[in-house]
Structure 1
């Protein structure tokens, strides 16, 4: 209880709430598009493939720009602006989607939403990483928003569809999503004053008193030569040195981790994107489909929360990852052979618990192996593989 009291009274609480809302809206908009799928097809003349590509771009832009966002986050002066701008883009993209008149427009607007989610994700994760204390628990609680959004937003979407249609429903949902903006403004992103490193570069000590003008002239000439060399081959040499000093080169296990991340998020994205259409194609009513999403939401929330509690002090993330992977395989096999409503109710809950836990555990494993000062680079690379998994499934 003392640990939860510390969370509720800590300055990290706005970060957790902002991350929670981002997670809820991210998965919620995917489910909402699934609810509105038939109406969108009739209105815009789209196919399931077109919607799949649009959702794939949403997932891609939620992850692919991560290295650029991580590099921008190193500049302390724009961190707060980056977070607030991301919260605005997320809700604005959904509002624009409600006004789309073609497949291309829908894809572009959902990509804008994804870019906003990427900004919020990187800013919140890096902020929690710098806090360090109880990271596993804080990170897992933040990501329980996926389970809440999985159930709550489709329920709201179906209610709004009956009254306002898919366009009005998306517009109102975008207004609800805009509540993340004031939460993002409440997050305090302070620079690390005690660090000797600023924006990724170490400060250079001043020259000693006996430093004479001749030496200064020689160094100046040498610097000019280095500048010329940098223009030709210095850039490539610097990239080579950065790669050799990176965690990827020093610890080849990261290559295996990224491969596992790609595979697990192909399963994650496919399951999230097609749970609702899969249930509807089996002839299950919309009412029962919403009940299934509620069951999945409960499992997803429980799985993510359990990961935070267990990995905080009891179990290693790698061990728990292997267990939930086996559990997910068993649940998916059962779903293939038992296609009635009650069986799907149980298997969706178990699968949601497993994929939710895997999504958190994969990122915790990466953090545990990465060097603390290079975590942003490694995490951004991991998000590229996460986005690749989602995009490959969608197309």
Structure 2
């Protein structure tokens, strides 16, 4: 909705960044809530089903955006599309997580404690005032100057002591904060399970392939001289593959095999598909490889978080899932940039797909320790 109201390029870029931030926050929060409400197999199925809407949106969005743009203009069309995203608000409000570890509060006990505390404080104040009246020291008038000097020196010393105490408290709080961060890192899966870090490196590689393939699939077809109609048919097949890949990944994970094994198979198959697309310049081959790559990339985008959930300890899944998405987003950033650099250097989109195929093979190699070494028993 903010993009529709923007009037210049810089403002549009800022609005797109805000939209992306909101999308990530809602997506991660909804996924963590789903993991707390369902069992493991049910989570895999529902997560894949929820992610499948991305493929359906790839099919409907171009048609819907063109129709709304012709009828209402691009600004109102974007505003309508933004309003359609408003369904996330009531869906998020409807989520109710189970409350654990809570117990009803005894209000009468609180009131009694407050009354008792008030009575005790009043009695202490009365006793202190009586003692001050009885033990009031007598000071001669000639000692007023000395008393003032002593008061000034005591005020100065109290200020110095206060500054020293404040600096010590700040230093102590900083040490405590660093200690808590150090202890939380030592208790995390990133330290106790070193193999767990391989999935983060793999997420960067998968993000590179994800962004590079989606960004340069259509330019790759145009460079080979295919018509607009042929390119639309190819992208439609890829969109259908994207929809099916996410559904199949969620349905087969935990039933046919574990997510790590399925992710390994999809990664290797996608590498072969991308390399075939780069070396075999045939339209029918490109349709098959586009659909196959869409199925594999969509399935990997579901299987990678499921692999994190399977490996991570239950109490740290939220942190692991967020960090995995962070590394995946970092990979998409480098994927678009590096793919553009490779295409500019070699002046060919075939070089980009060869580059993406090599990155996919590297992701397969980085994922092997994650599949070979078992999860430590103490986690």
Length-normalised TM-score, structure 1: 0.64
Cα distance in 1 for partners of 2:59, 2:230 equals 12
> Aligned in 2, Cα 1:286/1:389: closer, same or farther, shift over 3 Å?
same
Spell out the pairing of 1:175-190 with structure 2 (5 A cutoff): 175-187=80-92, 188-190=94-96
> Aligned in 2, Cα 1:93/1:226: closer, same or farther, shift over 3 Å?
same
Hey, what does 1:298 align to over in structure 2?
Answer: 240
Cα distance in 1 for partners of 2:83, 2:299 equals 28
Hey, what does 1:95 align to over in structure 2?
Answer: 4
Hey, what does 1:352 align to over in structure 2?
Answer: 294
Cα distance in 2 for partners of 1:261, 1:346 equals 25
Deviation at residue 170 of structure 1 after TM alignment: 5.8
Hey, what does 2:51 align to over in structure 1?
Answer: 143
Hey, what does 2:251 align to over in structure 1?
Answer: 309
Cα distance in 2 for partners of 1:170, 1:265 equals 31
Q: Which runs of 5+ in 1 are unaligned?
A: 1-91, 198-223
Cα distance in 1 for partners of 2:216, 2:7 equals 22
Q: 3-state SS of the aligned residue for 2:14?
A: helix
Deviation at residue 296 of structure 1 after TM alignment: 0.5
Hey, what does 2:268 align to over in structure 1?
Answer: 326
Cα distance in 1 for partners of 2:252, 2:89 equals 29
Match of 1:107 among 6, 10, 13: 13
Contact 2:58–2:239 under 8 Å retained in 1: yes
Cα distance in 1 for partners of 2:206, 2:307 equals 13
Contact 1:268–1:355 under 8 Å retained in 2: yes
Hey, what does 2:62 align to over in structure 1?
Answer: 154
Q: CA RMSD in A?
A: 2.6
Q: 3-state SS of the aligned residue for 2:73?
A: helix
Contact 1:93–1:111 under 8 Å retained in 2: no
Hey, what does 2:372 align to over in structure 1?
Answer: none
Deviation at residue 158 of structure 1 after TM alignment: 4.2
Cα distance in 1 for partners of 2:255, 2:167 equals 53
Per-residue CA distance 1:308-364 (angstroms, 9 max, x = gap) = 111142211111111111110111011112334322211110000010111111110
Deviation at residue 149 of structure 1 after TM alignment: 1.6
Structure with greater Cα Rg: 2
Cα distance in 1 for partners of 2:238, 2:229 equals 14
Spell out the pairing of 1:21-60 with structure 2 (5 A cutoff): none
